[in-house]
């Protein structure tokens, strides 16, 4: 495992930048260990809902975690607003950095991740291959 800390800047899209960073690093498998920072817009898809909910406010990222494959990410995040209310769910595109976001990625060079339809769930799910074993 290789640690890769990095920082997002104001105006960047959190998910797009994270996925682009993993691709630019040439990583085939990564996990977001943690992320903190602030957003001006959060797009969160709540459990059982098909479309993301848009939150526009000064938001603090309390938690950010998930997996990143070359063909996409599966991220969960919780944010709080100025009144301390907490919202959480799946991270969609359109989460815009307000001041900064600091992320710690764990790169897994011995593995390859992909997103594929899982016949059991019917959703795009994480498939893990061990490159050492040629899987």
Domains of the chain plus CATH, in order, are 2-133 (3.30.1330.80)
Q: How many residues in the chain? A: 135
**Sign of the alpha-carbon torsion through 63, 52, 18, 112:** positive
92-135 residue pLDDT tens: 999 999 999 999 999 999 999 999 999 999 988 999 999 888 76
| pTM of the complete model | 0.91
> What six digits make up the tokens of 11?
């105006």
57-100 residue pLDDT tens: 999 999 999 999 999 999 999 999 999 999 999 999 999 999 99
Report the pLDDT value the prediction gives residue 134, as an integer from 0 to 100: 73
């Amino acid at each position: 495992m290789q640690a890769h800390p990095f920082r997002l800047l104001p105006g960047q899209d959190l998910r797009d930048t994270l996925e682009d960073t993993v691709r630019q690093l040439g990583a085939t498998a990564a996990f977001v260990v943690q992320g903190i920072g602030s957003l001006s817009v959060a797009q969160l898809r709540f459990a059982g809902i098909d479309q993301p909910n848009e939150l526009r406010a000064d938001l603090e990222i309390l938690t950010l975690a998930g997996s990143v494959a070359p063909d996409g990410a599966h991220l969960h995040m919780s944010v709080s607003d100025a009144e301390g209310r907490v919202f959480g769910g799946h991270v969609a595109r359109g989460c815009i950095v307000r001041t900064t976001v600091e992320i710690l990625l764990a790169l897994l060079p011995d593995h390859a991740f992909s997103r594929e339809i899982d016949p059991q769930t019917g959703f795009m799910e994480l498939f893990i291959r061990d490159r050492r074993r040629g899987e």
